[in-house]
Structure 1
Amino acid sequence: MIRRTCYLSARHLHHHHHHCSLLFSTTSPEPPKFHSLKPIKMEGANEITREAKENVNQTKRKIFVAGATGRTGKSIVEQLLAKGFEVKAAVRDLAKARATFSKHGPSLQMVVADVTEGSDKLVQAIGDDSEAVICATGFRPGFNVFAPWKVENLGTVNLVEACRKLGVQRFILISSILVNGAAMGQMLNPAYLYLNIFGLILVAKHKAENHIRKSGINYTIIRPAALKNEPPSGNLVVEPEDTLYDGTISRDLVAEVAVEALDLPEASYKVVEILSRADAPKRTYEDLFGSIKQK
């Protein structure tokens, strides 16, 4: 099968008080009555009652999201909250974050954190209550030519190292197709050239990916095609790394892929490239991720 190569437009790549009345009486009280609760055995643990198990299941899981106020990051936060997760959103501008997430309740916690300021500060921000980290950071164009490298490479590395220090064992990165463009023979692709002129963005992303892969952490690296702000259209296509050259995908669908990947064993230790296409068949996430082999 011959894959058609197209050039991406550069502008596209880029969660009653019980008043206990003690009644004293001179008569002997009746013995208290207890409800019979059938115990459930849990592997490797003591027996607990069904009631206790239900209480455990009601505990919300907390996910740390870096780049939470970005367009893709915001969608990730909203979808995590909709699925019942608690979210710790890492933001640089607290006022902007409060305006962005003004309608969300106590399940959303905002923390001021900058991924470029080192892993020790990120350890404090992530804390020991975060189960996983989703990285959706991105640099903002400006006059500092080193900013892209600091965010896309060093910032992601800092997040990974913070996870290692804390023992966080799930990391999801939103990256980009064409990050390995040089090895793919795409060095003359206008999008590849344009983005790398501004601080070697794609090279920086690829270096960060390699660090994640060597970290020992259970990772999923998601490389979307050209990003659209419009709602999703068409069905999701998932391909192996270093295969996609064209196509588009909604940011909301990218966010959905990241959230779905959290608990999918089929998504562990994999790099996937994604787009949406009207003529693609609708498939389950288990099937889509399961079709990609680990490397």
Structure 2
Amino acid sequence: MSDTAETPEVLIIGATGTIGRHCVTAAGDAGLRPRALVRNVAKAEELFPGVDLVQADLEDPKSLKTALEGASLIVMTHGAPGEADAGERIDYGGMRNVLQALGTARPRVALMSSVYATRTDVPGANPWKRRAERLLRASGLDHTIVRPGWFDRAAPNERRLVLEQGGTLDGPIARSQIAEVLIRSLITDSARGKTFELIAREGEQQTDWDTLFSPLSSDRPGDLDGALDPQNLPEKDEPQAIRDDLAAVRRAGN
């Protein structure tokens, strides 16, 4: 489409990351106009010539308010760096700050989480990604939550997408495929309100997105966890600060 005013826009949070960069490309391929939320505009201009850029920081709620204004489609691919508290500050705190900055706006959101989000038996698994998922569900926003497996561990002949629920799937997936699934989930009705794990196995990639998303169970409205998730992190056992955040998000969504 040549008229950008008629082209749906998608705001990509984490655009300069290794998945976010692919999301910029995937958005264009899907007929969307990417808009990249970045901290460093000069760096982003080199990466994304011709792409709309907006400067903001996930740890700065004030900067997010302006950046999110008018967004109707949002992809969140942000991920915590190696610092000990980064999961709480970035994975979780970033989601909390975005929801706060949105106010009464009701965009559709695709969130990249982790294939281990609900696993308590995996050493080093990050509970903050699951907590971020729960904030998004508690908000009541239209959402799709994608839990990819190991980045770029797939062999060249492993391109067949596998989408499952229940928290037991494990395996590799290409970064470009993660990005494509995130973008396509925003514009495919059968992906609405669903949470799933994502890997690739031997075979060709499918192109019928409705057929991929349709068999999945929808998250139940009002539930904190995704459909078929193990019930191994009761809300009552969470720290008071986490429960307070959930309560605030629920109030804002009503």
Matching residue within 68, 72, 87 for 1:148: 87
Give the Cα separation in 2 of the matches to 1:232 and 1:89. 31
Equivalent position of 1:243 in the other structure: 168
- Which runs of 5 or more structure 2 residues have no equivalent in the other structure? 220-254
Relative to structure 1, the CA distance from residue 289 to residue 83 in structure 2 (aligned partners, 3 Å threshold; closer, same or farther) is closer
1:170 maps to amino acid: R
Report deviation, 1:58: 6.4
Determine if the alignment matches structure 1 residue 171 to structure 2 residue 109: yes
Determine if contact 1:232/1:249 at 8 Å carries over to the other structure.
no
Determine if contact 1:233/1:250 at 8 Å carries over to the other structure.
no
- Runs of 4+ deviating beyond 3 Å: 54-58, 229-233, 279-283
- What's the TM-score, normalizing by structure 1? 0.68
2:217 maps to amino acid: K
The 5 Å alignment of 1:104-183 reads 104-105=49-50, 108-118=51-61, 120-128=62-70, 130-142=71-83, 145-163=84-102, 165-182=103-120
- Which runs of 5 or more structure 1 residues have no equivalent in the other structure? 1-53, 197-201
1:131 maps to amino acid: S
Give the Cα separation in 2 of the matches to 1:255 and 1:218. 18
What does the per-residue CA deviation read over 1:25-45, in whole Å, with 9 as the maximum and x for residues that have no partner?
Answer: xxxxxxxxxxxxxxxxxxxxx
Give the Cα separation in 1 of the matches to 2:92 and 2:202. 34
Determine if contact 1:127/1:166 at 8 Å carries over to the other structure.
no
Report deviation, 1:285: 1.6
- Three-state SS of the structure 2 residue aligned to 1:75 is helix
The 5 Å alignment of 1:142-291 reads 142=83, 145-163=84-102, 165-182=103-120, 186=121, 189=122, 193-194=123-124, 196=125, 202-228=126-152, 233-244=158-169, 246-279=170-203, 282=206, 284-291=208-215
Report deviation, 1:116: 1.4
- Three-state SS of the structure 2 residue aligned to 1:149 is helix
- Three-state SS of the structure 1 residue aligned to 2:99 is helix
Q: Which has the larger radius of gyration?
A: 1
Give the Cα separation in 2 of the matches to 1:213 and 1:92. 26
Give the Cα separation in 2 of the matches to 1:59 and 1:95. 28
Q: How many residues align?
A: 218
Determine if the alignment matches structure 1 residue 74 to structure 2 residue 21: yes
